[in-house]
Amino acid sequence: MAKIKIEDLKKIKERVQAENALRHGDRRVRVTVHMGTCGIAAGAREVMTTLMKEIEEAQVSDVVVTTSGCMGLCSREPEITVEIVGEEPIVYEYVNENKMRQIFRRHILEGEIQTPFVLARGKEQP
C-alpha cells in the first residue's frame, strides 16, 4: 500500500504555522471558480490548479478559494468570480491558465480589474 508521506505533511504544517504567525489579517479576497459540468469541460480544473500555485508562490493567506456550480452562461466558461472585500464582485469569462495568472497578479494582488476579460460586475445568481 502506497503510504501518505506524513513526515512531509508535518513539515508543511510547521512552515504554514510559522508563516501565519508573522501575519495578521483576515480574508481579503474570495475567488470562486465555477465548477459545473460546463466549466470542468472547458478547463476550470486547470484554472483552479494555476490559482492554487499562484497563491502558494505569492505566499498569501488572505485569499480564499471556493467552487460553485454553473450560473447558466455555459458557453463563456471557464468563469471565475473575484470578490475583494468592500468592492463589487467581478466575473471573468473564458479564463485560462495565462489569464488566471494575470488576474491573480494584477487584480487580486494589486487591485487592478482586468477589463478585457470581464463578463459582468455584481453578485452572481446561484
Partner 1 sequence: MEELSLHILDIIENSTRAGAGLIEITIVEATDHDTLMIEISDNGSGMDEETLGRIMDPFYTTRTVRRVGLGIPLLAQAARATEGSCTVESRVGDGTRVTAEFRLNHIDRQPLGNMGETMATTIAGNPEVDFVYTHRIDDESYRLDTRELRLVLDDVPLNSAPVITFIRNDIAEALAEMKNRSRTGTEH
**Binding footprint of partner 1 on the chain (CB under 8 A):** 1-2, 4-6, 8-10, 12-13, 15-17, 20, 33, 35-38, 40-41, 45-46, 48-49, 52-53, 55-56, 61, 65-67, 69-72, 74, 125
Minimum distance of partner 1 from residue 102's CB (angstroms): 18
Taking the least distance from each CB to partner 1, the nearer of 105 and 113 is 105
Q: Which three cell numbers stand for residue 119?
A: 463578463
With a CB cutoff of 8 Å and minimum separation 6, the contacts of 58 are: 104, 105, 109
Minimum distance of partner 1 from residue 50's CB (angstroms): 11
Minimum distance of partner 1 from residue 116's CB (angstroms): 25
Chain centre to alpha carbon of residue 53: 10
CA dihedral 105, 62, 118, 87 (to 10 degrees): -130
